[in-house]
Structures are given as C-alpha cells and as structure tokens.
Structure 1
Amino acid sequence: MFDILFLLLAAVVLVPLFQRFGIPSVLAYLAAGIMLGPHTPGPVIELEVARPLAEFGVVFLLFAIGMELPLSRLRTMRRYILGLGLAQVVVTALLIGGIGHAFGLSGALSLVVGLTLAFSSTATVLAILVERGEAVDHHGRIAVAVLIFQDLAVVPVLVLLPLLAGQERHVAEALALAGGKVVLVMAAIFLVGRFLLRPAYRFIAVGRNPEVFTAANLLLVLTVAWVTGEAGMSMALGAFLAGLLLADSRYRHQVEADIEPFRGLLLGLFFMTVGMSVDLPFVAERLGLVLGLAVGTVAVKAAVLIVLCRLMKVGMGDGLRVGFLLAQGGEFAFVVFGRALELKLLDGGLGQALVASVALSMVLTPALAALGRRLSAGMTPERGGEPIPETVRHLAGHVIIAGYGRVGRAIARLLAEHEIPYIALDMDVDRVAAAREAGLPVYYGDAGRTGILRSVGIGQARAAVITVNEARQAERTISCIRQAAPHLPIVARARDRAQEQVLGDIGATAVIPETVEASLQMAGSVLRQAGIGEEAVERSLKGYRNRRYGRPTE
C-alpha cells in the first residue's frame, strides 16, 4: 500500500505540473520514477512490485493502436513492415555490432548488442504519437509499421541468446521452430477472432451490461497477450493483434472508452519503472561511456532510418520525423541484456552501462521527437499520390475543405449537388488515394501550412471548412488560414462548447458543435412525434440556431 500511494501521489503532482509548462507527460512519469527509484534520496519503491503491472500499460496501449489500424489499412503498410522494418533492424544491427566489434567486443556479443539496440521503445513512441494525435498520420503509421516488425523480431533474438552462449547447437532448427510457432499462433488468433469474436461480442452487447462488456474487453486483451507471451513473442504484439480483430467492428469505440482508464494509468506506471531503473550514481561515475553509448545509438539509428526512408520514396519531412522518433533504445533491451548477463555473454559493468544508455535515450525521446518536428516543419510532404496541379492555384469562388473524413465527405457531396467547386485536403494517404481514383478534387496536404494553402488558391476561395477531428490541428489550421486570408469566412467543426469557444477566439467565423447539432436533431424528432407541425418545428430550430450561433440561418 505504501508503494502504491507514493506512485499515485507522484503521478498526481508531477503530471499536471509538467503539462502546465507544455512538457509531455511521459517525461513527468520518468521524473517521478527517478525520484522514487533506489538510486536517489527519499522514498524508495520496490521495482519488482511495480514492473508486472507496468507491463500491462504497454499491452493496453498496443491494443488501442491495433484498433486504429484495420486490416485494410495494415495491408497498405506491408511495404513498410516487411521492407523498412526488416532493413532497419538488419542495417542498424550490422552497423552497431560492427562498431562494437571494432572496440573489442566478441563476435557473439557484438551481434547481441547490435540487434538489441536496433529495437526502439514501442511504449514511449506510441505514447507520444497518441498524445499528439499523430498515430494515424503518415509518419506515425510508418513508425508503427517499423515497431510491428521489431516486435515480430523479438522471437529470433531470444532464441539466438542461448545459441550464442553455446547452450544450443542446432541453430537452424531452433530458428525454424521459433518461426513456425509464430506463424501458427498468429494464424490461430486471426481464425478464432474471425469466427468467434464478433458473435461473442454481439451476444454480450445484447445483454446491455456494461460491467460484463468491460470484463470481456479485459479478457480478450489479456488472453491474446498471454497466448503470444507463452509462444515466445511479446505480450504487446498479442495485444496489437487483438486490437486488429476489433478494428472494423461496431464495438470499437465502446471498447476504446472502456480500456482508456487502464491504459493511461498502467502506461504511466511503465514509464515510472523505466525511471526507477536509471542508476544516477553509476551514470555519474561512468558518464562518458553512458553518454557515448546513448548518443551513438541515437545518431546511428536516426541516420539509418532517414536514409532508408528516402530510399523507399518517403518524403524528407516524414523521414526526419520517423528517424528521430525511433532513434532511442527500447524496453526490450532490459530483457535481453538481463538474459545475456545470466548466460555470461555480457559482463556486469558493460551491462549496466548499456541499460543506463538505453534508459537515457528513452528519456530523451520527447526532445528527439520535437527536434524531428522542427526540422521537418518547413518541408512540403512528398507523399500521398499526385501533386496538387498548378491549375488549382488559379481557381476562384471555390470552397477549401480541411479534412476529408466522414464530415468532410458529406460537405463535399452537398457542395457538388449545388455545383459549387471545392478542393479538399487530407493527411490520410489511403483516403486521398481512394478519392483520387474516384476522380474527386482531393489532395494530400496539411491545411495548416501556408504553402499548401497558396497552392489551393486560398486568396480566391469563397470559404473554408475545417472538419479535422484533432483539436490542435484544427486550431493551427484556422490560425494559418486567417493569416493567409484575413477576411475569408471559416466554418469549423467542434466537438463541444469548450472547443467552440477556442476556435471562435482563434478566428473561425462560425463554429458548429457536434453535441449541439445532435441535440437539435433529436429535439426536432421529439417535437414531430409529439404532434407539432413541420413548419413550427423548423421555425423553432431555426430560431435556436440564430440565437446560438449569433447570425441568421437560411
């Protein structure tokens, strides 16, 4: 109870404090872990008490990411999973292993160190992507694809350790057995999910019991994670597969809402355990070695990823963001280096230095991600289908739609019915490609960048519509449009009244809160069912909108 109270107190105090100064919550949890760890003065939390629970934070995070990536979208990522992911692990392992061998490490140890440092921190990277709403952006999906391959590569690395230590002699047989086990387990998970999971959820949903529904979600996540863990794969990979099974289902949004509290708290606990593992006295004593390992790892991985992204025709901006985002070491290193110490492949001093360097690189991840964003800020995306034609720049009297999701598509259809020209911009590559195939004027681009706005004729447009779902992106887009076209009418979508106020203050001409419009539609239906005439209902709704939005409605 003492340990739990101090962990909760540290989170409650530090996370709001860091967020007030614009510092990512990941750093708050890491700082709390360092304060409560065995290497600093003050209260000490037993690492082994928190670690089992902390692992479930990564499990729930990967489950949520899996639900954001339906199989149709995952198939479009296979080039990055099997191409970029494989190339990144192999090239990084060879480079780091070669550097280690040049500094005197044995061939076996060089291979272990190179492979282990090739992996990135799934938990840290995805937490940053989710916190910034970038998990389904182009660079976010590339990063997720590389992380998926890295999780798949966990099995052969674990199999290699006893082989390199001389405890196993049949290398090919052991690797083949491990690979076959992976294929069988993944096939079984998808078959069970396809034929049993959705009928089971339908049966549970009919009962309308929220406690049972939440219990079913926990059962699904933990069962699939346990199965993959028993098969020698990471539990996080199993959770990701479980999320994929529900990605296209009608229950996805309720499942996300149910697991959100577990995910946030347990993931914070995971980052605390990372902070607890940082041995500050050891780092201070061997600062040069630890810093050299951390900086070297970050530099090699960032350079490799940026070069490989360019070779795979990824835009320089996205390549920079992916490279710096995945440049750190990963939590898997704690497992591998610990196992290598047990097998006498690694001596204690070097093992502690490697663990400390990995933890330090994970602490630096938010700063590295911010550096990647800053370096790529002035670069126009080079991905997403055909470029915006020069003729679009000279359009006049058209409407610019920022975001071509569900709301954006509905607006575009209505504009087309009234023969009003429009140009839509979206950052989802697959969505843009599908629209272009249908011959629609939809292009890949960030409406929050002045150069993109000029390329779609912002100066001659008659109006702009902001339908993006992510709050910060909507605010940035409105600010950029208002600077480029001070008098252009801007109609924005808001989730609620709080966001309505923010977007109005930034410069939106009219803000339509989804919650208000949904309530008006329901009220209109109730009035009609109560026998009120259609004309009176429409008059009431129009009057409410006039008062609510502060301008006449037609």
Structure 2
Amino acid sequence: MEDLIHDLVLLLVVSLPINIIFHRFRLPSVMGFIAAGLVIGPYGLKLVGDLESVEKLAEIGVVLLLFVVGLEFSLGRLLEHLAKILKAGGLQILLGSLGAFGILRFWGVADNAAILIALLATLSSTAIVMKMIAEAAELETSHGQICVGILLIQDLAVVPILLIMPLLTISGDVESAGVAGAFFLSILAVILIVVVSRLIAPKALEYVARKGSQEHLTLTVILIILGTAWASQSLGLSLAMGAFIAGMILSDSEYSHQIILDILPLRDYFSAIFFISIGMMLDLTLFAEGGLQILGLLLVVIILKSLAAFLATLFSGHPPRIAFIAGMRLAQIGEFSLALSKIGADKGILTDLQYQTFIFVSALSMLTAPLMIQASSKLSFYFFSGRGEKVEAVKLGVSSLTDHVVIVGYGMVGQNLSRVLKEVQIPFQIIDIDGERVKRALKEKMNVMYGDSARRGTLKRAGIANARAIVFSTKDHRAAEQGIKLSRKINPGIHIIACARHSSEVDSLMALGADQVIQEEFETSIEIFSRVLREFRMPNNVIEQQIELVRMEGYGMLRGFSLNSESLRKFSTYLTASLTESFQVVEDSWANGQTLKNADIKNRCGAELIAVVRSGEVTANPVEDFKFVEGDMLIMFGRHAPLKKATEILKTGP
C-alpha cells in the first residue's frame, strides 16, 4: 500500500506540470498524461514500481470513462434524431472501417486483429473535438452539428465493438458459426443486464435520494457502476460494457445531472491514471527502430479518416466546404480507442507489437488534432471558396429583388428578423447552409435559398449587388468573416450588420468591413440590468439613460476597460435623483373607486400625486375628493422606496 501511494503521488507530481505546459500550448490533456506516463514509466525514468496496481486503477478509469459516456446521452433523445445522424455517422464508420480492414488484410494482419483495429480506427476523439468546438462557440454551426452527430454515432459504436470483442478471441480467422453463437449469447447477456439494471437501479436511486443524504446517493451510484460492471464480466462481457449500460440506464433519470457532477472528479482522476498508464506502456525503442513506419501509418490514418468523414458528410447532403471541415476535424483516433485497444490486448486479440504500434499512432494523431481543427476552416475557404458554384446554382436560383435585406442564417435571429421584415413589407432574401432550416423556412413561406454565404456566387445569386443591407446572423465566425469581406467587395455601399458571440470577435468583423457588430454578451448584459432596474420601479427614462451611458462607453468596457470616474458619478446621480412613476388603475385595483384623500399616499409613504390622465385629459394636482376610476393613469413623484410603496398601496390597499 505504501508503494502504491508513493506511485500515485509521483503520477500527480510529474503529470501536473506536464499538463500545465500542454495546456499553455493548447494541446489536449490526454497527450499530457501520456507524456507523463512515458517519463515515469519502465521505458522512461522507471520511477514507478507497482505497475500492476497502477493498471488496476487504470481499469477503474476505463469503467468510469465509459459510464459517463453512457450517462451523457439519452436513448430517447437519440431516437428523435436517429435518421438524421445515422446516415453521416454510419457512412463514416462503414467507409473508414472497410478501408482500414482492406489495408490491414493486404499487409497480412489476421482477421480478428484487422477487424478490431479497423473499427477502433474509425472512432475519433470526442474529448478533443467537442472541447475545441465548444471553445470556438461552433456547436450550433453546420460543421459543428455534423461533427457532434458523427461523434455521437461513434460513441454508440462502442457498444457493438465491445460485443464483438469476445467473438474475436475465438481464433485468428473469424468463423461465422462461432461468431453467430457468441454474438447471440452476448446479446442475451446484454438484455439480461439491461432488464435487471432498469428494474433495480432507478428505484434504488429514488429511494436513497428520498431517505438518505447526498453522500448516500453518491455511494449508491458507485455501487450501481461497479455492480453492473461486475455482472457484465461475470456473464462474459467486459467491465467497460457493464459500466456503459449502467450509464445508459441512468441517463434519463432526474438525478443524471447530479450524478455527472458527483462522478466527474472520480472519472477525471482515474481516467488520468489510465492515460498515464498508456504512456507507461510505450516502448520508445519501437519508435526508434520503426519511426518512419509509424509516421507512415499516421499519414495513412489521417488521410483515410479525413476521406471517410468527408464522403459521409458530402453524401448526407452537406456542401463540400462543410464536408472538408468535418473530415479534418475527425481525422484523429480517439481516447475510447485507446481504452478499447487495451481490452483487446488483454484478451489476446492484438499482439504486443500491434498494440504498441496502435498506441503510438493514436497518440500522434491526437497530438496533430488541435492543429488540424484550428486550420480546417481557413483551409476550407482556400480549397472550396469558389468551387461547386455551377452545381449549386440550380439549387439556389437567382434573386430578382432590389433594395432588399439579405439575411444570412435562419436561426433565432434570422427567424425573428425575417418575420418582422415580412410584417412591415420590406423585401428580404434568406441564405442558409442547413437543409433542415431551409425546409422550415419554405414551409413558413419565406424567401429562402440554400447555399454557403462564404461563396461569391451564392451572395451574387442572393442579389447582394442590389441589396441595401446584409445581416450575418450565422454562428460560424469564419464564414461570417469571409462573407463580410466578399459582400464589401461586391457592393461597397451595402450596410453590413453582423452578430458576434464574443467580444474578441468584434474587432476582426469591423476590420473586414462590417458597419455594425452586435455582440451577444453585451446586449444580454443591457437587457439584464434594464430588467433589474424595472424590478426596482425605475422609470423608463432613467433606464434609457443607463443604457445610453453604457453604450457611450461602447464595447471597450467588455474588452477589459471599466467605467471611468465621470461615468460612475453620472450613474450615482441618476440613481439618487427624484423620479416619476406611473400607475394605471384597473378593475381589481384597490384604488378603483377611492378618493385621493382615502388613498393618502403622501402621508402614508411620502410620494406625491402630481397628475391624473383620464381619457386623454390631464388633471394636474387633483383635489382631495378626486375619485379614481378604472383606466386612470396616476403620475407620481418621489424617490424609489416611497414610489414602490405607493404603487403597492394603490394595487392591494394599505
């Protein structure tokens, strides 16, 4: 035990600074852990002695990793969009695995190993791709959505891969009879685990949540994970398969979000140990002896995976530029492939040389992933900005509008803007690259065309040369930049309005020619503080002054500059000044039928009634016997607290 604690301390001491360095250079943390394992492992500085115990802890990491994968998606939600994502995800796995299997068999790799390696090679890094897409605020873009869809199908593919593994241990060359029998038994085992877990796990959680404490709930979740994993192994499946099933069973539970919060720290720690253990197994002498071969394999993997994702996305109806981005972003081998390859090696499906080579190639592909993801959008414009125009023209048609508004993107902003423009009879043309949104717009009888706004031909067919304004409401920042640049070249006098997710995007959009950039965080902050001020009965004129004050400071405030002392002085003056407030008498108001003397708001709360507006007529300084009736608008003068109290009295009574 003392040796194990010593080794765990060493793991953290070495991996933490290495990961900080990797984070500094925006490299994935997975690579940092692998590098740490390489340093301290038996092929490095040999600092860790109890390798067997570390490997057992690493196995817990795999279990927790796959449990969270199962927990993070719902079978119900999956079935809603199954048809949409199955086409792209299924094609990517099919094309990639067939291509990889053919190459591996050509090289003389046995059937069972070739099948497993081919399947594992189709899986991309959910952690790396999702993290970088989220950080770039591209989850709602067309390429972001297609990448997420394919990754989801890949995560689902973990289930059949885990099911296939016991079948691949039958022999080097897979026999159909043995496969069928083992597959049937595996399915029966999965069904048994699912049924029993579904009967027991949710009820157990509900009971503990109702009767016990938070600690009891966490312990129950751990019991469910380990118990299901143990049951899975007892029935001939893997621990990881059982953990994955447990995650799926609990994914629709009302406690799923709390479970994730409770388990994530454990998952992060133990999965870190797993990736460190992967690094400890890397034999650098293998790379020294066959480095060129490993780099050659890496190139084959990147080309094959990029091509498979590109073709799958293209066949799913997306433009070539979007397909190119998806291909580049899914070109790496993922962390789940590392976990599953370890299981495959333990079962004897992969030889030690095959396993070591696969680990090296996977690690190197993950190392290149951030660079490929960052470069994908820029390269897509370089290769596809002017291609495919002739084909796309048929889909788009040519707009005959003049003096109109071009709306790029039919998301929330585009939908609201188009409906308002339609209402006030201002002509507009919508462009969207998402086929589903185009169909929705057509159903709503909107003037819409399918196309990529980052292409000159698309903008021309939207009538950009004769348009008065263009609004870029797309979530794709790179596409917006390209579209703004092209719009300004085609029509130098057009008014360009663009949306920005983050303040850091404002300057680049303005520099490329945008006349106005609406920054979401900035506008949200204004809406929030205006609603807070209304809650405190601040009159509209003061709220408008506050909005104007913040707007005078401009977007510089959100780029790191604070309000100057003069602005703060103005703010204080506005807040402490006497105010006016209005109150409309309705049927159920206490004030309805009361006289000014009975209301007595001046003596009761210190507010002054200065006028009453009735049927368009203003009565200034009403007398004491003036009776309020339904529809009267009472104008009061005073400070915040008295005015608030006065409105409460007029509404509900003293």
TM normalised by structure 1 equals: 0.71
- Report the Cα offset of residue 175 of structure 1: 0.5
Paired AA for residue 379 in structure 1: F
Whole-Å separation in 1 of the counterparts to 2:303 and 2:173: 32
Task: Give the equivalent residue in structure 2 for 1:159.
Answer: 166
**1:379 corresponds to 2:387:** no
Task: Give the equivalent residue in structure 2 for 1:80.
Answer: 88
- Report the Cα offset of residue 356 of structure 1: 2.6
Whole-Å separation in 2 of the counterparts to 1:170 and 1:434: 49
Task: Give the equivalent residue in structure 2 for 1:208.
Answer: none
Whole-Å separation in 2 of the counterparts to 1:488 and 1:192: 64
Asked whether the 8 Å contact 2:42–2:48 carries over to 1, the reply is yes
Q: Aligned with 1:492: secondary structure? A: strand
Cα shift readout 1:172-200 (whole Å, capped 9, x = no counterpart): 2320232355567778999999x999x98
Shift in CA distance, 113/261, structure 1 to aligned 2, threshold 3 Å: closer
Task: Give the equivalent residue in structure 2 for 1:361.
Answer: 365
Q: Aligned with 2:16: secondary structure? A: helix
Whole-Å separation in 2 of the counterparts to 1:131 and 1:226: 36
More deviation, 495-504/410-419: 495-504
Shift in CA distance, 520/362, structure 1 to aligned 2, threshold 3 Å: closer
Whole-Å separation in 2 of the counterparts to 1:415 and 1:227: 57
Q: Aligned with 1:493: secondary structure? A: strand
Task: Give the equivalent residue in structure 1 for 2:22.
Answer: 14
Shift in CA distance, 32/480, structure 1 to aligned 2, threshold 3 Å: farther
Whole-Å separation in 2 of the counterparts to 1:332 and 1:315: 29
Paired AA for residue 467 in structure 2: A
> Structure 1 regions of 5+ residues with no counterpart?
205-210
Paired AA for residue 360 in structure 2: A
Whole-Å separation in 1 of the counterparts to 2:441 and 2:460: 22
Q: After superposition, where does 1:317-328 map in structure 2 within 5 Å? A: 317-328=321-332
Q: Aligned with 1:400: secondary structure? A: strand
Equivalent of residue 463 in structure 2, options 434, 457, 468: 457
Shift in CA distance, 407/115, structure 1 to aligned 2, threshold 3 Å: closer
Task: Give the equivalent residue in structure 1 for 2:402.
Answer: 396
Q: After superposition, where does 1:121-520 map in structure 2 within 5 Å? A: 121-135=125-139, 137-138=142-143, 139-141=146-148, 143-144=150-151, 146-164=153-171, 170-182=178-190, 231=232, 232=237, 234=241, 245=252, 277-306=281-310, 315-335=319-339, 337-367=341-371, 369=373, 376-377=380-381, 378-379=383-384, 389-392=396-399, 394-469=400-475, 477-479=483-485, 481-482=487-488, 484-495=490-501, 500=506, 503-504=509-510, 507-520=513-526
Asked whether the 8 Å contact 1:398–1:421 carries over to 2, the reply is yes
Shift in CA distance, 360/58, structure 1 to aligned 2, threshold 3 Å: farther
- Report the Cα offset of residue 131 of structure 1: 4.4
TM normalised by structure 2 equals: 0.62
Task: Give the equivalent residue in structure 2 for 1:99.
Answer: 106
Cα shift readout 1:377-418 (whole Å, capped 9, x = no counterpart): 3326989x99653322x4322223333222332222222222
Whole-Å separation in 2 of the counterparts to 1:465 and 1:402: 6
Cα shift readout 1:273-319 (whole Å, capped 9, x = no counterpart): 65555433221112244334434444444445555555565544444
Shift in CA distance, 44/528, structure 1 to aligned 2, threshold 3 Å: same
Whole-Å separation in 2 of the counterparts to 1:386 and 1:182: 50
Cα shift readout 1:344-384 (whole Å, capped 9, x = no counterpart): 5554334433433333333333455567656643326989x
Paired AA for residue 397 in structure 1: D
Q: Aligned with 1:395: secondary structure? A: coil
Whole-Å separation in 2 of the counterparts to 1:460 and 1:355: 57
Whole-Å separation in 1 of the counterparts to 2:377 and 2:166: 37
More deviation, 281-290/315-324: 315-324
Shift in CA distance, 279/445, structure 1 to aligned 2, threshold 3 Å: farther
- Which one has the largest radius of gyration? 2
Shift in CA distance, 504/109, structure 1 to aligned 2, threshold 3 Å: closer
Asked whether the 8 Å contact 1:388–1:455 carries over to 2, the reply is no
More deviation, 224-233/158-167: 224-233
Whole-Å separation in 2 of the counterparts to 1:256 and 1:485: 51
Asked whether the 8 Å contact 1:58–1:270 carries over to 2, the reply is no
Whole-Å separation in 1 of the counterparts to 2:119 and 2:83: 26
More deviation, 474-483/278-287: 474-483
Count how many residue pairs are aligned between Structure 1 and Structure 2: 525
Q: Aligned with 1:282: secondary structure? A: helix
Shift in CA distance, 319/517, structure 1 to aligned 2, threshold 3 Å: closer
Whole-Å separation in 1 of the counterparts to 2:496 and 2:218: 41
Shift in CA distance, 255/318, structure 1 to aligned 2, threshold 3 Å: farther
Asked whether the 8 Å contact 2:473–2:498 carries over to 1, the reply is yes
Whole-Å separation in 1 of the counterparts to 2:458 and 2:487: 10
Paired AA for residue 185 in structure 2: L
Shift in CA distance, 228/41, structure 1 to aligned 2, threshold 3 Å: closer
- Report the Cα offset of residue 9 of structure 1: 1.9
- Report the Cα offset of residue 13 of structure 1: 2.8
Task: Give the equivalent residue in structure 1 for 2:578.
Answer: none
Cα shift readout 1:111-131 (whole Å, capped 9, x = no counterpart): 444444454444444444444
Cα shift readout 1:23-45 (whole Å, capped 9, x = no counterpart): 67776666566556554459779
Whole-Å separation in 1 of the counterparts to 2:498 and 2:260: 26
> Structure 2 regions of 5+ residues with no counterpart?
1-8, 556-654
Paired AA for residue 492 in structure 1: A
- Report the Cα offset of residue 481 of structure 1: 4.3
Paired AA for residue 177 in structure 1: L
Whole-Å separation in 1 of the counterparts to 2:115 and 2:95: 15
